[in-house]
Structure 1
């Protein structure tokens, strides 16, 4: 192929479904990528899997695929996604079963091997703190950021859907671009172009104005009907990003430049599993309405190690709130906060009152961290007790206790990671 059109159909696990449906229906795509995984997302997935071995994949997988798979199957669009999260094989089985129920007969290829909890050294230092990993708490997850090289065998099966766990976000795009355009994965220039395309598309609506919008400073039209982006990428590495006509949002030099630098701490050396990306010579030019060309990315050798996201048990969080209404609402809410702080002296707790002086209603918010669930529940109990222990007129108590999964990072040698591909169901496409 000389040019591939690839769409960004999700930027996180909670993203909207409709913009991806529009891309699948009207975008004339070759591939649709759904990027639904973050560091905390996969750690929480591991937590769910510990409680239920059949769980751990994206909880919205079925709802999202029920709407997208029929559209993509009818148009020959391949789907690549990291909705496998902490349990890619279970996600693959669920997807194949769903496709069967929908009468689609699709093949699903699952990439595994990113789970390296049994392969990391607990005494290795965390990149963020320099302390040994095990010193942070009980380790519950460790997922290596796989790259295009590890995704490629799944694409080469001819599967209609490729499901992964933890991979680097841009690699979800770089791999299908390389496979369709015939790029050598060791060609740093090609990997730089693919990584730029992937980095721009990976957050979906951020590129089309969602995270860009700031009324009066950076106005974005039609935000309620925000469209998601796609990119046309040539074999020579030229990238042009756009969105569907008639959808809300905008693609401009400004939105592209903002997304280009998103999460990039060093524009001269942004490491991914596929390439070390240098953005200093990148040019961004508007070539038409909602259409921007991006060129000039430079690639250097990929890092020798994989980054690993490590989750650990970091205690418990208590959140509770109570409202006060009528004259003196703020003063009563502040008094309630003082009461809770006095009764919880020695606990890591804070109190905030939402609502200005003179407001007809104010709400006290209490947040605390605790070493165990029982201590966190004491915090919530103290807020609930305000109902009858004063001050007057409190109501609408809401409480929540949740376990906190902390996240740190480390590195692992590439040869310590053993990726694999499992093909499930249906029949492969040409």
Structure 2
């Protein structure tokens, strides 16, 4: 009977460090018992972009970061018996499995690859159906088309893929903590109504899912919350006992810190209600959780409680929202702030005449940007007192009118010669824009399924 399972985090998002998993895999390879390495790579926007990629090419649609993240640790994991679980399948888990099989074959390896599908709702619910289930708004009302609709499915199908003998499990949209909970259900045999155990496994997954955030990455604030060795920060490893309690640690010799402060901060990250955090597998209650340091970079976590899972699943629906235009220009040296202010006034005046319906935002990076208001009106209030010698102006607008956006980009570039003096370093960009809405859908509309890649159906 298994008494301990170890799960390491290899990535917290698609743009994570590609060498982050190497120390984690090396540490797990020195240990015995069930070991897993999880990769969380699937933000909502990432998934929508993958849906678009799949439509353009049926062989695409998986996370473009997959190969860079997996290649450095693939051989180590397979040779040491460390099983990999990742949601890099995105909109096309089957294609991701095919690419992983080819990658492994080129390295002389032949892993069994499990594929988890069933999160894609686009063939099951139309735009009107989804609009009727939207929560907290009416963004979907009246839309005739959507880009993607994906439900957050739970850990069950991941456990099933591991039960089938998969060395690597590729999923689409699953709830982030399910990447860890699935292996725990598989290894410990937890039942689907063992609510406290499911909550404990969900908490372990929640602390692991964002990679180095729990080991100091998102925690670091120099002079206030100091984190050593951030350039070589260690990604977390959880040592989970059969009763659901676990110790969070990181590979020896890596940077960062794991202590009560980092763990508690990450535990509360993105939690809407600590007494009732909704997941597809369980409603998690954190209010009785105990967090105790038991050694250097070793923190024990226990006391999560669970309640029956919700009747519905959260789904993210993405849809086309026109285009986003951005252009930047710099002013530096004596009187830079006044020249930047004049440039902003020029663009406002010209766009008000040439594209009067376009809502324009102007930011002075470092003076008024993050704290600027949406239309950029704060800019005028701050500029008179600003004494900056280095100002980067950013102009932005979003619209379905591509011609008006192109005009904005041309006008900013025109500042080179039309003044004021000394403008330089224009950058311009026009990209399609996606927007998203949340829905609650009945479980019957999702169809989680686990199978081995290449196995006859």
Offset, 1:351: 1.3
Distance in 1 (alpha carbons) for counterparts of 2:121 and 2:133 = 16
Specify the SS of the correspondent of 2:173. Answer: coil
1:156–1:372 CA distance, 2 compared to 1 (3 A):
farther
1:134 CA displacement: 4.0
Distance (whole Å) between structure 1 residues aligned to residue 133 and residue 451 of structure 2: 33
Instruction: State which of 27, 36, 40 in structure 2 corresponds to 1:31.
Output: 36
Distance in 1 (CA, whole Å) between partners of 2:139 and 2:407 is: 32
Match of 1:111 among 108, 116, 125: 116
After TM superposition, the structure 1 = structure 2 runs for residues 64-79 of structure 1, keeping only pairs within 5 Å, are 64-79=69-84
Distance in 2 between residues matched to 1:326 and 1:151, nearest whole Å: 58
* RMSD of aligned residue pairs (Cα, Å): 1.6
Which of residues 258, 276, 298 is equivalent to 1:251?
A: 258
Name whichever of 40-49 and 254-263 sits farther off.
40-49
Report the Cα offset of residue 128 of structure 1.
Answer: 2.3
- Trace 1:267-282 onto structure 2 (pairs within 5 A): 267-282=274-289
Residue 63 and residue 374 in structure 1: after superposition, are their counterparts in 2 closer, same or farther (change >3 A)?
A: same
Aligned to 2:449: 420
Deviation at 1:54, TM superposition (A): 2.0
Partner of 1:263: 270
- Aligned partner of 1:349 in structure 2 is 360
Q: Does 360-369 or 7-16 show the bigger shift?
A: 360-369
Q: Which residue, 408, 412, 422 being the options, matches 2:437?
A: 408
Find the counterpart in structure 1 of residue 371 from structure 2.
Answer: none
Q: Answer yes or no: is the 8 Å Cα contact 2:339–2:420 preserved in 1.
A: yes
**Equivalent residue number for residue 376 of structure 1:** 405
Moved more, 51-60 or 332-341: 51-60
2:14 aligns to what? 13
Which residue of structure 2 aligns with residue 362 of structure 1? 391
Aligned counterparts of 1:403 and 1:137: Cα–Cα separation in 2: 18
- Residue 105 of structure 2 corresponds to 100
After TM superposition, give the deviation of residue 282 of structure 1 in Å. Answer: 0.5
Which deviations, in whole Å up to 9, do the C-alpha atoms of 1:144-183 show, x marking residues without a partner? 1010112222111111110001000001100101101121
User: Contact conserved, 2:39 with 2:87, CA < 8 A, in 1?
Assistant: yes
Residues 39-63 of structure 1 show CA distances to partners (whole Å, capped at 9, x for unaligned) of 1111111122222222221111112
Preserved contact between residue 130 and residue 439 of structure 2 (Cα < 8 Å):
no
Aligned to 1:124: 132
Task: Report SS of the residue matched to 1:18.
Answer: coil
Cα distance, 1:374–1:422 mapped onto 2, change above 3 Å:
farther
- Once residues 394 and 144 of structure 2 are traced to their aligned partners in structure 1, the CA distance between those partners, rounded to angstroms, is 28
- Which of 75, 78, 86 does residue 81 from structure 1 map onto? 86
Equivalent pair of 1:327/1:358 in contact (CA under 8 Å): no
Q: Provide the TM-score with structure 2 as the length reference.
A: 0.90
User: In 1, are the aligned partners of 2:139 and 2:437 still within 8 Å (CA)?
Assistant: no
Partner Cα separation in structure 2 for residue 12 and residue 257 of structure 1 = 20
Tell me which of 146, 153, 165 is aligned to 2:160: 153
Change in 2 beyond 3 A, CA 1:355/1:233: closer
d(CA) in 1 for partners of 2:391 and 2:201?
A: 50
Question: C-alpha displacement at 1:132, in angstroms?
Answer: 6.6
Contact 1:136 1:314 in 2 (8 A): no
What are structure 2's unaligned runs of at least 5 residues?
A: 368-385
Q: Could you tell me how far 1:17 is from its partner in structure 2?
A: 2.1
